[in-house]
Structure 1
Amino acid sequence: MNSDLTEEEMRRALFGAAQPEEQVPTPLIKEPVEEVVLAKQVLAPATKKKVAKAFTPRLRVTLRVGNEFEGKMIELIHEADTLSSLLAEQEAVKAAKKKYKYVELVSVKSM
Protein backbone atom coordinates (compact mmCIF):
# COMPACT_ATOMS: atom_id res chain seq x y z
CA MET A 1 0.00 0.00 0.00
CA ASN A 2 1.00 3.50 -0.62
CA SER A 3 1.30 5.32 2.69
CA ASP A 4 2.11 8.64 1.08
CA LEU A 5 -1.47 9.63 0.32
CA THR A 6 -2.43 13.21 0.48
CA GLU A 7 -5.35 14.36 2.53
CA GLU A 8 -7.44 14.95 -0.56
CA GLU A 9 -6.81 11.39 -1.83
CA MET A 10 -7.79 9.97 1.57
CA ARG A 11 -11.03 11.92 1.52
CA ARG A 12 -11.86 10.64 -1.96
CA ALA A 13 -11.10 7.09 -0.89
CA LEU A 14 -13.32 7.30 2.17
CA PHE A 15 -16.20 9.44 0.98
CA GLY A 16 -16.09 9.02 -2.77
CA ALA A 17 -15.54 11.60 -5.44
CA ALA A 18 -16.71 14.98 -4.37
CA GLN A 19 -19.36 16.22 -6.73
CA PRO A 20 -19.76 19.91 -6.31
CA GLU A 21 -23.44 20.63 -5.87
CA GLU A 22 -24.47 23.80 -7.47
CA GLN A 23 -26.46 25.50 -4.81
CA VAL A 24 -26.77 29.17 -4.67
CA PRO A 25 -26.97 30.09 -1.03
CA THR A 26 -29.92 32.34 -0.44
CA PRO A 27 -28.90 35.47 1.32
CA LEU A 28 -30.25 35.61 4.82
CA ILE A 29 -32.70 38.41 5.08
CA LYS A 30 -33.05 39.71 8.56
CA GLU A 31 -36.60 40.67 9.26
CA PRO A 32 -37.04 43.76 11.33
CA VAL A 33 -37.60 42.74 14.91
CA GLU A 34 -40.40 44.62 16.54
CA GLU A 35 -39.43 46.06 19.84
CA VAL A 36 -41.51 44.45 22.54
CA VAL A 37 -42.10 46.49 25.64
CA LEU A 38 -43.65 44.71 28.60
CA ALA A 39 -45.89 46.98 30.56
CA LYS A 40 -47.43 46.16 33.89
CA GLN A 41 -51.14 45.98 33.77
CA VAL A 42 -52.86 48.49 35.92
CA LEU A 43 -55.42 46.67 38.00
CA ALA A 44 -58.10 48.30 40.02
CA PRO A 45 -57.84 47.48 43.70
CA ALA A 46 -59.55 44.16 44.23
CA THR A 47 -62.77 44.57 46.12
CA LYS A 48 -63.25 41.75 48.55
CA LYS A 49 -66.59 40.13 48.18
CA LYS A 50 -68.32 39.37 51.40
CA VAL A 51 -69.05 35.71 51.37
CA ALA A 52 -72.20 34.66 53.10
CA LYS A 53 -71.18 32.74 56.16
CA ALA A 54 -72.02 29.13 55.62
CA PHE A 55 -73.66 27.15 58.35
CA THR A 56 -71.06 25.65 60.61
CA PRO A 57 -72.16 22.87 62.89
CA ARG A 58 -71.53 23.71 66.51
CA LEU A 59 -71.69 21.77 69.71
CA ARG A 60 -71.85 23.24 73.19
CA VAL A 61 -69.85 21.29 75.74
CA THR A 62 -70.54 21.92 79.41
CA LEU A 63 -67.80 21.01 81.87
CA ARG A 64 -67.43 21.20 85.63
CA VAL A 65 -63.88 22.28 86.49
CA GLY A 66 -61.83 23.05 89.55
CA ASN A 67 -58.38 23.02 91.11
CA GLU A 68 -59.24 21.33 94.42
CA PHE A 69 -60.12 17.67 94.81
CA GLU A 70 -63.79 17.47 95.91
CA GLY A 71 -63.66 21.22 96.37
CA LYS A 72 -65.42 24.14 94.74
CA MET A 73 -66.27 23.42 91.08
CA ILE A 74 -67.38 25.93 88.49
CA GLU A 75 -69.26 25.29 85.28
CA LEU A 76 -67.44 26.03 82.04
CA ILE A 77 -69.06 26.16 78.59
CA HIS A 78 -67.00 25.48 75.47
CA GLU A 79 -68.29 25.82 71.88
CA ALA A 80 -66.75 23.51 69.27
CA ASP A 81 -67.11 23.81 65.47
CA THR A 82 -67.65 20.16 64.70
CA LEU A 83 -70.38 17.55 64.42
CA SER A 84 -68.45 14.94 66.35
CA SER A 85 -69.34 14.97 70.02
CA LEU A 86 -66.16 13.03 70.83
CA LEU A 87 -63.96 15.62 69.12
CA ALA A 88 -65.87 18.44 70.78
CA GLU A 89 -65.42 16.81 74.19
CA GLN A 90 -61.70 16.24 73.64
CA GLU A 91 -61.19 19.80 72.47
CA ALA A 92 -63.05 21.22 75.49
CA VAL A 93 -61.18 19.03 77.99
CA LYS A 94 -57.84 19.94 76.41
CA ALA A 95 -58.64 23.66 76.68
CA ALA A 96 -59.85 23.30 80.28
CA LYS A 97 -56.80 21.27 81.38
CA LYS A 98 -54.57 24.25 80.60
CA LYS A 99 -56.07 26.17 83.51
CA TYR A 100 -57.78 23.62 85.78
CA LYS A 101 -56.57 20.42 87.36
CA TYR A 102 -59.86 18.52 87.62
CA VAL A 103 -62.30 18.39 84.68
CA GLU A 104 -65.65 16.60 84.61
CA LEU A 105 -67.93 16.39 81.56
CA VAL A 106 -71.54 17.43 82.16
CA SER A 107 -73.11 17.48 78.69
CA VAL A 108 -72.59 17.83 74.94
CA LYS A 109 -75.47 19.50 73.07
CA SER A 110 -75.90 20.80 69.53
CA MET A 111 -76.59 24.50 69.13
Structure 2
Amino acid sequence: MSSELTEEEMRRALFGTAQPEEQFSAPPAQDPVPEVVFTKPAVVPAAKKKAAKAFTPRLKVTLRVGNEFEGKRYELTHEADTLSSLLAEQEAVKAARKKHRYVEVVSVKSM
Protein backbone atom coordinates (compact mmCIF):
# COMPACT_ATOMS: atom_id res chain seq x y z
CA MET A 1 0.00 0.00 0.00
CA SER A 2 1.33 3.44 -0.82
CA SER A 3 1.92 5.92 1.98
CA GLU A 4 0.55 8.78 -0.09
CA LEU A 5 -3.23 8.90 -0.33
CA THR A 6 -5.16 11.12 -2.62
CA GLU A 7 -7.61 13.62 -1.26
CA GLU A 8 -10.52 11.54 -2.54
CA GLU A 9 -9.24 8.40 -0.76
CA MET A 10 -8.86 10.34 2.52
CA ARG A 11 -12.41 11.63 2.25
CA ARG A 12 -13.73 8.11 1.66
CA ALA A 13 -11.74 6.81 4.64
CA LEU A 14 -13.05 9.51 6.95
CA PHE A 15 -16.61 10.01 5.78
CA GLY A 16 -17.42 6.86 3.84
CA THR A 17 -18.44 6.62 0.23
CA ALA A 18 -20.22 9.55 -1.30
CA GLN A 19 -23.97 8.99 -1.72
CA PRO A 20 -25.49 10.50 -4.84
CA GLU A 21 -28.20 13.06 -4.09
CA GLU A 22 -30.68 11.22 -6.27
CA GLN A 23 -31.20 8.52 -3.62
CA PHE A 24 -32.73 10.98 -1.19
CA SER A 25 -36.37 11.61 -1.81
CA ALA A 26 -38.53 14.46 -0.60
CA PRO A 27 -40.23 13.77 2.74
CA PRO A 28 -43.73 12.37 2.34
CA ALA A 29 -46.57 14.86 2.70
CA GLN A 30 -47.92 14.74 6.23
CA ASP A 31 -51.60 14.49 6.97
CA PRO A 32 -53.01 17.43 8.92
CA VAL A 33 -52.97 16.64 12.63
CA PRO A 34 -56.25 17.26 14.47
CA GLU A 35 -56.00 19.97 17.09
CA VAL A 36 -55.70 18.57 20.58
CA VAL A 37 -56.47 20.69 23.64
CA PHE A 38 -54.89 19.60 26.89
CA THR A 39 -56.73 20.29 30.10
CA LYS A 40 -55.63 19.73 33.65
CA PRO A 41 -57.37 16.81 35.33
CA ALA A 42 -59.38 17.70 38.40
CA VAL A 43 -57.24 16.78 41.38
CA VAL A 44 -58.96 16.08 44.63
CA PRO A 45 -56.70 17.20 47.48
CA ALA A 46 -56.03 14.22 49.69
CA ALA A 47 -55.58 14.56 53.41
CA LYS A 48 -52.03 15.82 53.73
CA LYS A 49 -49.85 14.27 56.35
CA LYS A 50 -47.83 16.69 58.38
CA ALA A 51 -44.16 16.05 57.91
CA ALA A 52 -42.24 15.36 61.04
CA LYS A 53 -40.41 18.48 62.10
CA ALA A 54 -36.78 17.95 61.30
CA PHE A 55 -34.25 18.62 64.01
CA THR A 56 -32.66 21.99 63.58
CA PRO A 57 -29.49 22.66 65.52
CA ARG A 58 -29.86 25.67 67.78
CA LEU A 59 -27.47 27.63 69.91
CA LYS A 60 -28.46 30.03 72.67
CA VAL A 61 -26.26 33.10 72.93
CA THR A 62 -26.43 35.20 76.09
CA LEU A 63 -25.36 38.82 75.76
CA ARG A 64 -24.95 41.72 78.16
CA VAL A 65 -26.02 44.93 76.43
CA GLY A 66 -26.34 48.61 77.28
CA ASN A 67 -26.24 52.09 75.83
CA GLU A 68 -24.02 53.74 78.47
CA PHE A 69 -20.32 53.04 78.84
CA GLU A 70 -20.31 52.00 82.50
CA GLY A 71 -24.03 52.25 83.09
CA LYS A 72 -26.85 49.76 83.36
CA ARG A 73 -26.48 46.48 81.46
CA TYR A 74 -29.27 44.10 80.49
CA GLU A 75 -29.04 40.41 79.69
CA LEU A 76 -30.33 39.50 76.27
CA THR A 77 -30.65 36.00 74.75
CA HIS A 78 -30.50 35.20 71.06
CA GLU A 79 -31.30 31.84 69.44
CA ALA A 80 -29.34 30.95 66.31
CA ASP A 81 -30.13 28.09 63.90
CA THR A 82 -26.58 26.89 63.36
CA LEU A 83 -24.01 24.54 64.79
CA SER A 84 -21.18 27.04 64.56
CA SER A 85 -20.73 28.94 67.79
CA LEU A 86 -18.74 31.63 65.98
CA LEU A 87 -21.54 32.26 63.47
CA ALA A 88 -24.12 32.25 66.25
CA GLU A 89 -22.09 34.78 68.23
CA GLN A 90 -21.62 37.06 65.21
CA GLU A 91 -25.31 36.88 64.35
CA ALA A 92 -26.33 37.72 67.93
CA VAL A 93 -23.91 40.66 68.18
CA LYS A 94 -25.08 42.02 64.83
CA ALA A 95 -28.72 41.86 65.93
CA ALA A 96 -27.96 43.46 69.32
CA ARG A 97 -25.93 46.31 67.78
CA LYS A 98 -29.07 47.55 66.01
CA LYS A 99 -30.51 48.77 69.35
CA HIS A 100 -27.60 48.82 71.78
CA ARG A 101 -24.23 50.53 71.67
CA TYR A 102 -22.21 48.25 73.95
CA VAL A 103 -22.47 44.48 73.53
CA GLU A 104 -20.62 41.82 75.50
CA VAL A 105 -20.95 38.07 74.87
CA VAL A 106 -21.51 36.11 78.10
CA SER A 107 -21.99 32.55 76.82
CA VAL A 108 -22.85 30.38 73.84
CA LYS A 109 -24.70 27.17 74.74
CA SER A 110 -26.36 24.37 72.84
CA MET A 111 -30.11 24.04 73.29
TM-score of the alignment, normalized to the shorter chain, above 0.5: yes
Aligned to 1:87: 87
**Amino acid of the structure 2 residue aligned with 1:105:** V
Could you list the per-position Cα deviations for residues 6-38 of structure 1 after superposition, in whole angstroms to 9, with x for gaps in the alignment?
xxxxxxxxxxxxxxxxxxxxxx9x968656343
Write out aligned runs for 1:29-108 (5 A): 36-45=36-45, 47-108=47-108
TM-superposition CA deviations, 1:69-101 (whole Å, max 9, x none): 010000000010100000000000000000000
Q: Please tell me whether Structure 1 or Structure 2 has the larger radius of gyration of its CA atoms.
A: 1
Displacement of 1:48 after TM fit?
A: 4.2
**Structure 2 match to 1:109:** 109
Which one is further off, 80-89 or 44-53? 44-53
Give the TM-score taking structure 2 as reference length. Answer: 0.65
Cα RMSD of the aligned pairs, angstroms, is: 2.5
Structure 1 residues 43 and 73 mapped into 2: Cα distance closer, same or farther (>3 Å)?
A: same
What percent identity do the matched residue pairs reach? 76
| 1:33-55 Cα shifts (integer Å, max 9, x gaps) | 65634333111236543111111
AA at the equivalent of 1:87: L
TM-score norm. by structure 1 comes to 0.65
Q: 1:11 is matched with which residue?
A: none
- Unaligned runs of 5+ residues in structure 1 are 1-27
Letter in 2 for 1:67: N
- How far apart, in 1, do the equivalents of 2:83 and 2:101 lie? 27
